[in-house]
């Protein structure tokens, strides 16, 4: 394997045929480059989608009110549905496998003012347990708690964008922020890596929000429940029960998709997993076909090499060279050519992925990369591919009879 003369001879053969060597190297390098890029892009899509999905708990069901599109039970279409405390109470206390339920009243275009600066953000009025389903990442202070609700405390938790725009890098904890003309003390700051919109929201307790900004009604836009998750099928039954009750309570047609929307996060997670699995299979299949093209190219080149060196092989065998040494010589050349050009393709692909990762910032595409296991697999595949691509021509070369080879002019 480490015979200096053999390696010198192999290098001499490759250098003496630069065009052939270059074309073979390019075919292998391009194949590995495409494989690395596909794997990295697939990883980027998976990371982005997974990161986006992780903003919400998988054991949650979201019930959103809408505007009816179908006349039903004596009511006309285009009726705006308002959920209320009875809906949330029923979900929290009368539906099996529900652990908790939190309402959310969303108030768009809410004026927020600090130190003479007035800007417009979103305001969400929620129960303290809402943090468990939205999975907010607190970077300062704390979230709302039951004491805040019971005492009607004018406290707020704000997103990182509000902190940056209004407080200019200062810590806002303990400071007063005027929201819709009412002073609130800031007790926490959250930052969602994938939530440009989420980070423009502020949170206050729902009972205070309803009293101050909801005309005293207990209405809200939506509520979300946490289940004692055991299976997707079990959670789907909970979602069906919630939908049936809410449609009946608010006279919404079973066929009306716009009047009420139910989102079962476990189904979304399962669908996401299936899509990611399909992407991985697709990328793997494309990468395999690309690699096969490279292997066939190397195999064809090595067949030409054997043909050109027929007389030389005959002389070697006439002088006593064993068939195994002939096979080993041809395979070595194929492996060397495949390994070097494949590594170049891999390094080029790795560099391009790093360039993409440093210049692309999107919530659905994150960290395109090839990890260690992928790198190791690619290198192993390179060596195996080089061995296979050179083995068949090498075996044919070993079968050449010295007399026939020496006749070849």
At 277, is the pLDDT very low, low, confident or very high (cuts 50, 70, 90)? confident
Asked if 94 and 172 sit in the same domain, the reply is: yes
Query: Of 226, 258, 290, which closes a domain?
Result: 258
Does any domain span residue 59? no
pTM above 0.85, yes or no: no
At 381, is the pLDDT very low, low, confident or very high (cuts 50, 70, 90)? confident
In this prediction, residue 338 carries a pLDDT of: 76
Does any domain span residue 125? yes
Residue-by-residue DSSP string for 245-310: HHHHHTT--TT-TTTEEEEEHHHHHHHHHHHHHHHHHHHHHHHHHHHHHHHHHHHHHHHHHHHHTH
At 259, is the pLDDT very low, low, confident or very high (cuts 50, 70, 90)? very high
Out of 57-66, 248-257, 361-370, least confident range: 361-370
Tell whether the model's pLDDT for residue 50 goes beyond 60.
no
Query: Of 207, 228, 258, which closes a domain?
Result: 258
Averaged pLDDT score across all residues of the chain? 81
Mean pLDDT of 332-347: 78
At 368, is the pLDDT very low, low, confident or very high (cuts 50, 70, 90)? low
Does any domain span residue 58? no
Pick the residue with more confidence: 366 or 208? Answer: 208
Tell whether the model's pLDDT for residue 332 goes beyond 80.
no
Asked if 302 and 222 sit in the same domain, the reply is: no
Query: Of 258, 288, 308, which closes a domain?
Result: 258
Asked if 380 and 402 sit in the same domain, the reply is: yes
Does any domain span residue 264? no
CB 15 within 8 A of CB 21: yes
In terms of residue numbers, what domain contains 157? Answer: 67-258
Tell whether the model's pLDDT for residue 342 goes beyond 80.
no
Long-range contacts, stretch 276-279, CB < 8 angstroms, 24+ apart:
276/45, 276/46, 276/49, 276/50, 279/42, 279/45, 279/46
In this prediction, residue 107 carries a pLDDT of: 93
Instruction: Provide, rounded to the nearest whole percent, the portion of the chain with pLDDT above 90.
Output: 40
pLDDT digits (tens, 9 = 90+) for 225-254: 989 887 888 899 999 999 999 999 999 999
Does any domain span residue 185? yes
CA angle 341, 347, 350 (to 5 degrees): 140
Asked if 74 and 108 sit in the same domain, the reply is: yes
Q: Which two tokens stand for residue 85?
A: 């405390």
Mean pLDDT of 87-102: 92
Asked if 45 and 81 sit in the same domain, the reply is: no
In this prediction, residue 30 carries a pLDDT of: 78
Please give the Cα distance from 242 to 250 (Å, whole number): 12
Asked if 99 and 135 sit in the same domain, the reply is: yes
Tell whether the model's pLDDT for residue 132 goes beyond 90.
no
Asked if 307 and 230 sit in the same domain, the reply is: no
Please give the Cα distance from 32 to 291 (Å, whole number): 7
Q: How far is CA 357 from the centre of its chain?
A: 13
In this prediction, residue 192 carries a pLDDT of: 84
Out of 81-90, 163-172, 283-292, least confident range: 283-292
pLDDT digits (tens, 9 = 90+) for 147-163: 999 999 999 999 999 99
Long-range contacts, stretch 296-301, CB < 8 angstroms, 24+ apart:
296/389, 297/24, 297/27, 297/28, 297/389, 298/24, 298/27, 298/28, 298/334, 298/337, 298/338, 298/385, 298/386, 298/389, 298/390, 299/388, 299/389, 299/390, 299/392, 299/393, 301/20, 301/23, 301/24, 301/337
Does any domain span residue 71? yes
Asked if 73 and 162 sit in the same domain, the reply is: yes
Mean pLDDT of 3-28: 68
Asked if 293 and 242 sit in the same domain, the reply is: no
Out of 73-87, 216-230, 238-252, least confident range: 216-230
CB 69 within 8 A of CB 256: yes
Residue-by-residue DSSP string for 337-352: HHHHHHHHHHHHHHHH
Q: Which two tokens stand for residue 87?
A: 């809906």
In this prediction, residue 196 carries a pLDDT of: 75
Does any domain span residue 62? no
Q: Which two tokens stand for residue 283?
A: 């990328």
CB 213 within 8 A of CB 219: no
Tell whether the model's pLDDT for residue 299 goes beyond 90.
no
Per the structure, how many domains does the chain have?
Answer: 2
Does any domain span residue 183? yes
Residue 395: CB partners within 8 Å, gap ≥ 6?
327
């Amino acid at each position: 394997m480490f015979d200096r003369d053999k390696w010198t001879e192999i290098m001499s053969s490759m250098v003496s045929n630069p065009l052939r060597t270059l074309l073979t190297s390019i075919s292998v390098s391009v194949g590995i480059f495409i494989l690395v890029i596909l794997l990295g892009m697939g990883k980027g899509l998976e990371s982005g989608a997974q990161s986006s999905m992780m903003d919400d708990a998988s054991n949650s069901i979201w019930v959103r009110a809408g505007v009816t599109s179908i006349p039903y039970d004596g009511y006309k279409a285009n009726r705006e549905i308002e959920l209320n405390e009875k809906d949330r109470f029923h979900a929290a206390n009368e539906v099996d496998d529900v652990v908790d339920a939190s309402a959310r009243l969303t108030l768009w275009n809410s004026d927020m003012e600090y130190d003479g600066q007035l800007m417009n953000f979103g305001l969400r009025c929620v129960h303290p347990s809402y943090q468990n389903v939205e999975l907010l990442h607190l970077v300062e202070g704390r979230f709302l708690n039951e004491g805040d609700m019971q005492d009607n405390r004018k406290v707020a938790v704000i997103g990182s964008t509000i902190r940056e725009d209004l407080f200019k890098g200062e810590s806002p904890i303990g400071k007063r922020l005027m929201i819709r003309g009412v002073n609130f003390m800031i007790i926490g700051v959250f930052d969602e890596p994938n939530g440009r919109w989420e980070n423009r929201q502020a949170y206050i307790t729902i009972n205070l929000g309803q009293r101050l900004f909801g005309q005293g009604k207990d209405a809200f836009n939506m509520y979300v429940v946490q289940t004692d998750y055991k299976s997707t099928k079990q959670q789907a039954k909970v979602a069906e029960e919630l939908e049936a009750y809410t449609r009946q309570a608010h006279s919404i047609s079973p066929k009306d998709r716009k009047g009420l929307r139910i989102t079962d996060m476990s189904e979304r997670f399962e669908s996401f997993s299936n899509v990611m699995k399909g992407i991985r299979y697709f990328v793997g299949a494309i990468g395999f076909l690309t690699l096969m093209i490279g292997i066939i190219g190397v195999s064809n080149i090595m067949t030409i090499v054997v043909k050109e060196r027929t007389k030389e092989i005959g002389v070697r065998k006439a002088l006593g060279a064993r068939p195994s040494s002939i096979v080993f010589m041809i395979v070595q050349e194929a492996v060397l050519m495949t390994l070097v050009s494949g590594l170049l393709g891999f390094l080029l692909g790795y560099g391009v992925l790093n360039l993409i990762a440093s210049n692309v910032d999107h919530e659905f595409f994150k960290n395109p990369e090839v990890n260690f296991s992928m790198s190791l697999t690619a290198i192993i595949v390179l060596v195996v591919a080089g061995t296979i691509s050179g083995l068949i021509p090498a075996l044919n070369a070993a079968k050449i009879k010295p007399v026939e080879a020496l006749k070849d002019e």
